[in-house]
Amino acid sequence: MSLNDLNSPQSYQIETTHQTLETDWLIICAGLGSTPLINELQPMVNIKPVLGQAIQIKLNDILGDMNFQPVITGEDIHIAPINSQEYWIGATLEFPDEMGKVTAQIELLEQAKKQAFSFCPELEKGEIVYTWSGKRPRPDGEPAPIIKEVPNHTNLLLATGHYRNGILLAPATALIIKDKIIENGIDF
């Protein structure tokens, strides 16, 4: 994807492999892909990958009260219920090496699992049904997330770099972006 006519005050063209789209507002929310998109315009963001790993465990029995399934957090490890018998355990934090490469370290996932079991020993009886790893967009040199207007570019906003909290912050981010658009005279 590439961006064209970015100096136009009223519209943007976005070229994809299938078509060209025109829009009045452009919100860049591409995680790790945000840096190359925005830095074509003006170097202003540097988002680096941080790897995270997690596991999903399924129990044969219901753990606790089905009506109360809290997220348990301790020492930066989270146990998040999926339903009354399945839980996510995670996540690791694995930073790039000096060459910028990020590689999953299985021993860190094992350490997270042991830590979760120490908080909630019943989980040890479960079966690991899924293992996940993925890169998260972490802003370098500024706090996460990056939600701001792009200087010298009308109707262009950034909403990216949510790091470990993208799912949690998505609703609040949408409201902030909506408010920024309304401030500029567009009503929803």
- Write down the mean pLDDT value for the chain: 87
Which parts of the chain are beta strand (E)? 2-4, 12-15, 20-23, 26-28, 47-58, 72-74, 77-81, 86-90, 127-139, 146-149, 156-160
The predicted-structure confidence for 53-100, as pLDDT tens digits, reads as follows 999 999 988 776 767 778 888 888 999 988 888 999 998 999 999 888
The predicted-structure confidence for 148-185, as pLDDT tens digits, reads as follows 988 888 888 999 999 988 877 999 999 999 999 998 87
> Terminus-to-terminus CA distance in the chain, angstroms?
27
Fold classified for 49-137: D-Amino Acid Oxidase; Chain A, domain 2 (3.30.9)
Q: Examine domains 2-46+140-183 and 49-137 and report if their fold is the same.
A: no
Residues 1-19, mean pLDDT to the nearest whole number? 66
Classify residue 49 as left (phi > 0), alpha (psi -120 to 50) or beta. Answer: beta
Strand partners, 164: none
Q: In the chain, where are the structural domains located?
A: 2-46+140-183, 49-137
In the structure, what pLDDT confidence band is assigned to residue 23 with cuts at 50, 70 and 90? confident
Q: What is the pLDDT of residue 4?
A: 52
Contact 147, 173 (CB under 8 A): yes
Give CATH for domain 2-46+140-183.
3.50.50.60
Q: What is the pLDDT of residue 1?
A: 45
